[in-house]
Amino acid sequence: MHKIQAIPFVRRGGVLAALVLAGCTSMAPVYERPAAPVAMQWPTFGAPAQETSATTAAELPWQDFVTDARLRALIDKALADNRDLRVAALSIEQARAQYQIRSADQTPTLNLAATGNRQPASGGGISSTYTAGLALASWEIDFFGRIASLKDAALAQYLATEEARRAVQTSLIASVANAWLSLQANDALLELTERTLGTREDSLRLIRLRFDQGVASALDLRQAESLVAAARVARAQQQRLRSLDVNALTLLVGQPLPADLLDTRDAGSVPFGSVPAGLPSDLLARRADIRQAEQLLLAANANIGAAKAAFFPRIALTASAGSASNALSGLFKDGSWGWTLAPQALLPIFDAGRNQAGLDSALAGRDIAVAQYEKAIQSAFREVADALAGRATLGDQWTAQQQQTDAEADRFRLADLRYRNGVASSLEVLDAQRALFASQQALAQTRLALRQNQVLLFKALGGGWSLTADQSGLPGG
């Protein structure tokens, strides 16, 4: 070893660091966001809706959208204990660690090293060599931006996991809301079925009494018995569907549910606030899964830079500073200190096409990411368009269905009155009963579709998190 002069060595390190910072450059292509392959306006259904709100759905907190206190409590519990959301959060931590690993590759790693070597000497006897000091492992000086590009790719992957968590959160809120709405609808249908069963059993008792008296026919009796059995079938179905809804909610929430939160009475109340549709350009900036796809595109773009840099020389530096001696007792005495510096440059000459294949793979990966980004936009646009179509038509459908149900209820009342006065046959009453029950079931299903469409629009527009309130900074290095 040569004797070390501390001040000149520090100066050399500073100059070297300045050269590294000045020479390091990325070979990744300049990123340009692909044009959105969708229209700039939502499709219109009838008269265009007049929206004056400047707030986008993504800026609308879910607490402002969900107005029912029971559903709010369920969503709060789900956000705390849902396992899918927990996995998404842990994936962020994993991606953060990977980014920190790539970031650490840009700085040298110092190790405390100690070695001992004993071997036969040429003149007989045994020679010994002992060293101790600081060692700089083979550190790549990133002149051509290979490591910087890999770091950029890791950062984009980290940010993509952030967006993935937000997308999972929005989906979770929508899933809990839809499951609760389904439970609410099946509770209403079960109550309706119980009432219908009671009405049909009353009609059966009356027809059986008239049959025993020879007034009603066997056909009337069998028809009434069939309707009672059909109502019992519907009751068993609704009881099963309600149990499935409770099981689905329990899985989403991640814990057993208290009975008070499963009480879905007051089904006539409106559980949700209004959602502004905004413009498709808002969707690109706010919807989490689109932002996730764009971060993955940025990662693929950075990988191209790393693949291009592989064609250029790779410069590495190995250095050490410390003490060396032929005896352990003299290892740290005066005159034993020294240093070594071993730069190395490797230029690929023949690699059987490995680097070119790596570049081709990176380019193909970027094209795949572009297609996936565009598909995410198109899918989001379609989801919003479907929800807007539902918002434009389901209200009218529910109103018409309500009118039909009112008419069928009046028809049943009149048919029953005519039957009790001996004017109409029991078949007329039973047919009116069947039509009324079917219309009431359709009304409940239409109301469910109307409310689930509100949830769909909220989800499709990227609601459920605020960009300004939920934005995370870059991970620490």
Are 430 and 204 within 8 A, CB to CB? no
pLDDT at 303 over 90: yes
Q: Which of 3-17, 326-340, 343-357, 389-403 has the lowest mean pLDDT?
A: 3-17
Are 324 and 131 within 8 A, CB to CB? yes
**DSSP conformation letters of 37-68:** SS-SSPPP-SSPP-------GGGS-HHHHB--
pLDDT at 314 over 90: no
Q: How confident is the model at residue 268 (pLDDT cuts 50, 70, 90)?
A: low
Determine the pLDDT at residue 46.
58
Mean pLDDT of the chain: 84
Whole-structure pTM value: 0.82
Are 164 and 88 within 8 A, CB to CB? yes
Are 94 and 266 within 8 A, CB to CB? no
Q: How confident is the model at residue 473 (pLDDT cuts 50, 70, 90)?
A: very low
- In this structure, what token pair is assigned to residue 404? 């039909």
* Helix (H) / strand (E) containing 86: helix 83-104
Average pLDDT estimate for 283-294: 88
pLDDT at 447 over 90: yes
Average pLDDT estimate for 254-279: 80
Q: For the segment 84-135, what is each residue's pLDDT rounded down to a tens digit?
A: 999 999 999 999 999 888 888 888 888 888 887 878 777 777 877 778 888 8
The CA distance from 139 to 1, in Å, is 21
Strands 126-141 and 337-346: unpaired
Determine the pLDDT at residue 47.
46
Determine the pLDDT at residue 4.
34
Give SS3 for 112.
strand
Determine the pLDDT at residue 55.
65
Determine the pLDDT at residue 122.
72
Determine the pLDDT at residue 425.
82
Q: How confident is the model at residue 400 (pLDDT cuts 50, 70, 90)?
A: very high
Give SS3 for 216.
coil
N-term to C-term CA, the chain: 35
All residues at 6 or more sequence positions from 443 whose CB lies less than 8 Å from its CB, including other chains: 398, 401, 402, 404, 405
Helix residue ranges, H only, 123-266: 146-212, 218-253
pLDDT at 59 over 80: no
Q: How far is C-alpha 319 from the geometric centre of its chain's CA atoms? A: 47
Looking at the chain, the whole-number percentage of residues with pLDDT higher than 70 is 87
Average pLDDT estimate for 136-149: 86
Determine the pLDDT at residue 92.
92
21 exposure class (CB count in 10 Å sphere: 0-12, 13-18, 19+): exposed
| Strand order through the sheet with 126-141 | 110-120, 126-141, 314-325, 337-346
Determine the pLDDT at residue 51.
52
Q: Which domains does the chain have, with CATH numbers?
A: 1-30+108-141+315-346 (2.20.200.10), 34-106+144-312+354-470 (1.20.1600.10)
